[in-house]
Each structure stands twice: as structure tokens, then as C-alpha cells.
Amino acid sequence: MSEPLRVALADQLILSRAQDAARDGDLAEAARLLDELEPAVPVLDLRARVHAQAGELVKADACWARVQLLEPGHEGAEAGRAAVARIRSGGRARPLVTPGRTATAAALIAVAAVTGGILWASAAGGGPAGASSGASNGAAGEASGGGDAALAAAVQRADTLQQRLAALDAGQRAAADERSRRLDRIAAQVALPGVRVERRADEVRVVFDEGLFSSGTEPARQAPGLLAELGRRLTGLPVSVTVVGHAVAVPGGPSSGGSPVALARAEVAAEHLARGSGLPLTAFRLATADQSDAPHPD
């Protein structure tokens, strides 16, 4: 066996091992093996695909540019550079990455790109790497079409996925906007003298300026009218209402964990709200706050 042929076969073996490493997702090993080879077209093409799979789009584009210099019209390089250009120029409406998601357009495209490189290189195995035989180049060109088709299909799938994600995000934004507007309407509806309305992210809280109970569960003078008016304002609103009773800690009693008095006060307040709104008492959930969270002293 002549020395040039022995070297060519050894190079082909290394390229094949690099393809296997890339197929298995071991990009570092694939890059190390490619470092041992001269920068021929198959080597540069596979290196570009490895860079793309790793998300290194600038390096991938540079490798494919070198492929085009060595072999003008190389379809795999053209398709790869076009995909990279679309991503880098913002050709997509936005990246596939959003809060809570981990997939990226680059990753989706790169998977197909590496697969395409493997298909191309294995089909080109009929001739040694770097060989100049026309038959070998023809086989490589034909096989590269399969890789390019896979790349194009992956780009199409990425675009389709992006459109679905965009539609999902648009729906979620629309729902969030509607929820925000609904909370604004609720906050405006329940605002009245004697209360403080707190508009929060997912709820509206109504805190009374003065305590509603003079002692125990006996309502203060202004409480029934104020609760009845608030109840009337609740009528027709798309809300679920939780009435939170408060009581301060008393000597000898528990200092935390709520109290029977607080729960009884919540029930009395809910009865007035029910009468004012015309809603059944069961429409109101009852809860108690911790003694340390009382807004007014008893």
C-alpha cells in the first residue's frame, strides 16, 4: 500500500470516528478528532455542523464559508449559512427560548445539521478524505443532498414550532391582559369611602379604615352599612370572595395561629355581605389571619 493511500485511509478512519462522536453528542471528542485532519471540505463541513450543534453559530458560519471557497456551490454550506444568517439577523420573530423553556432554534437546526453531516460523510466513504477523484466528489455531492434535505426539514420544523410557541405566548399574553383588566374593574367597583383597595397581581384586597367590631363579635356602629354597600358592589362581579377575620392576641391566649373570635367575626361580616349582595352565604369563603397581622387594635 502506497504511503499517500495509507494516509488517506487513516484520515477517513479519523473522520468516521469524528462523525460517530458527533452522532453520540460528544462534541468535544468530535472537535478533537477533527483537529487531527487537514481542512478538506468534508472536515470543514462536519466541523461547521459540530459548531452549529454547540450553538457556536459564528464559528459554524466561518467553517461553511471556507467550504464555499474550496467548493463553490456546495449545497450543504449554502443551506447551513442561510440558516445561521436567519437566526443571527432575527429572521425569526423571536428566539425559541422564553422564561421556563430550554429549547433553542439553533439547537433544533444544529441537530439536523450534524445528522446531515453524518449522512453526507458516510455516503462519501467510497473515496478517501481529500481525494480528488470525480466519482468520489459526485458521490459526496449526491449524498450531501440528503443531509441538506434533513437540514431544510429541521428548519421547517423549527419555524413551525416557533409559530406554535408564538401563538401560545400570544394567547397567554391576551389572557393575562384580560385578567389584569378584570382586576382593574373589580378594584374600581369596590372602591368606596371607608376602605382601602389594594390591587395586587392576582387579587384585589379590601382593607377597612377602621375596625368593624367594637368588641368580640359585636359590629361597630358603621360596620353594617359599610358591609352592605360593599356587598351591593360585589353583585355581578366575576369574583370569588374570601372574608378574613382578625383578632389581636390577648393575655393568656395563643399569640399566633388564628382564633375562634377571628373566625366568628369573618362569619358575621360575610352575613352582612351576603345580605347586601343577594348572594348566598356559601358564596363567601371564611378565613382567619394570624393575631400578629391584625390591621386594627381591638
pLDDT digits (tens, 9 = 90+) for 216-244: 889 999 999 999 999 999 998 889 999 99
Q: 18-32, 195-209, 223-237: which range is least confident on average?
A: 18-32
- CA pseudo-torsion sign 284, 290, 294, 298: positive
Higher pLDDT, 164 or 26: 26
Higher pLDDT, 174 or 119: 174
149 pLDDT band, cuts 50/70/90, is low
How many C-beta atoms surround the C-beta of residue 57 within 10 A? 21
- The cell numbers describing 186, all together, are 373589580
Domain ranges of the chain: 3-173, 191-293
| CATH architecture assigned to 191-293 | 2-Layer Sandwich (3.30)
Q: Decide if pLDDT at 85 tops 50.
A: yes
Q: Decide if pLDDT at 21 tops 60.
A: yes
Instruction: Work out the average pLDDT over 253-275.
Output: 80
pLDDT reported for residue 52: 86
Instruction: Work out the average pLDDT over 21-43.
Output: 90
Angle between helices 27-35 and 3-23 (to 10 degrees): 160
pLDDT reported for residue 156: 67
The dotted CATH code for 3-173 is 1.25.40
Choose from 99-103, 162-166, 243-247 the range with maximum mean pLDDT: 243-247
Percent of the chain's residues with pLDDT above 70: 66
Is residue 47 a contact partner of residue 114, using CB atoms and an 8 Å limit?
no
Higher pLDDT, 197 or 88: 197
